[in-house]
Amino acid sequence: MSSARFRSSPTPAIATPQRKRPWRQRATYVRRGGVGYFFGAYNVHADVLFGSYCLAKTTNEVLAFYKQIRRRYPDHLRVYLVNDNLSLYWTPPIREWAALHNVELVATPTSASHFNRIECHFQPLREFVLNASDYASHTEVAVAFRRYLYRRNADHQNSRIRLLESRSKIA
């Protein structure tokens, strides 16, 4: 089980067609609604990606997401959560919860997050959900993430998503 997070903000598409007038996009230097964070998890054995979109990145949100992951599996199974070295993942409340609930927190080596098995799944997620997007609200972003996860997990064997994942897979 791998987990990771990244921040969403409007970005231009990589392969947009040339136009006489450039596409207009809202500037991102003023974010009155704040930024949102996608917490993602990947089940290596079932090849299932799932996640949660939050407006804050605190110990409470991380712990709530870890509890959501833990509920997916029977209590007698040990769950391994592979994280990067963000100090937020290693706070005392999270360590205590992990010790009590048969969860092992595993850190990736410093500057080696590309070895985390979930990282290759974020490239297509960025491509299909964030690139060339300009969502008006956090609710729209959350719906877009849910739709992507549904599509990715439903039709994954012969899709463009699979192709993009295989291009960035390292481990």
- Asked whether residue 151 carries a pLDDT value surpassing 70, the answer given is yes
91-105: pLDDT as tens digits: 999 999 999 999 999
Average pLDDT, the chain: 81
Q: Which pLDDT score is estimated for 6?
A: 57
Q: Model confidence over 47-65: pLDDT tens digits?
A: 889 999 999 899 999 999 9
Q: What is the CATH number of domain 36-168?
A: 3.30.420.10
The mean pLDDT value for 119-130 works out to 84
For the chain, give every domain's residue range.
Answer: 36-168
Q: Measure the CA–CA gap between 91 and 62, rounded to whole angstroms.
A: 10
| Polymer length in residues for the chain | 171
Q: For residue 36, count other CB atoms closer than 10 A to its CB.
A: 21
165 vs 145 pLDDT, higher one: 145
